[in-house]
């Protein structure tokens, strides 16, 4: 495949070719998306990332390649959304590893080796760091979720007010969102139109049109969570129906 034909190919097609063993396409993707990778890594590290100097970028590059090999369009999310999370996870894991390495000069600006003679204190600092990283990652997901909600003309405040108060209603709305997500045609409709296909849903779920319309915002919000690779929000979703 010529370089020009590679450039003209859709991203999804290039991913498939790279997964099938086309090294030329794979190398093109890794080179073309270096700025994107650097941006993802920078969001984790909270600083400018130099691809030629920062080890974190190399970790991100390897992670992006891993995303190419493991991506499946059946998951519903776009490749770049999937790759972004894979890169961030791997960089966070790398940072945690570096922080845990005994040869590291310091775990934090306020802790150095002389102050860390107590192993229990070292463990406590590591745990604190992991908690902080998890909290940061959770905030990143929520911020991204807010942006996705805006695409559907929704806000977190509206979602809070519109969420079903009773367990049965929540479970019903979640089942409806799963039906939307699992059906390719319905999923594509929602992704493009940013609204519920009420007429089709009435035929597929044991819920009245009035109830679907009343729970519209909540159903769309759950659909967004299912449609994206939100690790923390999906964990939260497991307890929503309880």
pTM to 2 decimal places: 0.53
Quick check: 220 and 190 in contact, CB under 8 A?
A: yes
User: Containing H/E element for 175?
Assistant: helix 167-182
**pLDDT tens per residue across span 75-128:** 556 888 889 988 998 999 898 888 776 544 443 444 344 444 455 655 565 566
**pLDDT tens per residue across span 30-72:** 999 999 999 899 888 888 888 888 999 999 999 999 999 998 8
The proportion of the chain whose per-residue pLDDT surpasses 90, expressed as a percent, equals: 40
CATH 1.10.1740 residue ranges of the chain are 1-107
Quick check: 26 and 68 in contact, CB under 8 A?
A: yes
Question: CA-CA distance, 190 to 119, in Å (whole number)?
Answer: 53
Report pLDDT for 142. Answer: 86
The domain defined by 1-107 folds into: Rna Polymerase Sigma Factor; Chain: A (1.10.1740)
| Helix 167-182 / helix 184-193 crossing angle, nearest 10 deg | 100
């Amino acid at each position: 495949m010529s370089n020009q034909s590679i450039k003209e190919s859709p991203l999804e097609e290039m991913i498939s070719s790279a997964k099938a063993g086309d090294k030329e396409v794979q190398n093109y993707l890794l080179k073309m998306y270096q700025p994107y990778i650097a941006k993802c890594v920078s969001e984790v590290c909270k600083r400018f990332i130099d691809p030629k100097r920062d080890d974190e970028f190399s970790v991100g590059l390897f992670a992006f390649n891993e995303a190419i090999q493991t991506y499946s369009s059946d998951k519903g999310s776009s490749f770049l959304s999937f790759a972004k999370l894979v890169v961030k996870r791997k960089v966070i894991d790398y940072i945690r590893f570096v922080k845990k390495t005994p040869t590291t000069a310091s775990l934090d600006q306020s802790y150095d080796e002389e102050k860390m003679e107590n192993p229990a204190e070292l463990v406590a600092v590591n745990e604190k760091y992991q908690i902080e990283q998890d909290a940061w990652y959770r905030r990143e997901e929520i911020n991204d979720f807010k942006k996705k909600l805006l695409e559907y003309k929704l806000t977190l405040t509206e979602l809070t007010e519109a969420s079903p108060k009773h367990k049965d209603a929540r479970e019903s709305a979640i089942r409806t969102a799963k039906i939307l997500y699992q059906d390719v045609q319905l999923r594509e409709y929602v992704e493009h139109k940013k609204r519920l296909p009420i007429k089709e849903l009435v035929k597929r779920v044991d819920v009245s049109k009035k109830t679907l319309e009343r729970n519209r915002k909540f159903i769309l919000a759950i659909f967004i969570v299912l449609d994206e690779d939100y690790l923390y929000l999906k964990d939260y979703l497991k307890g929503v129906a309880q």
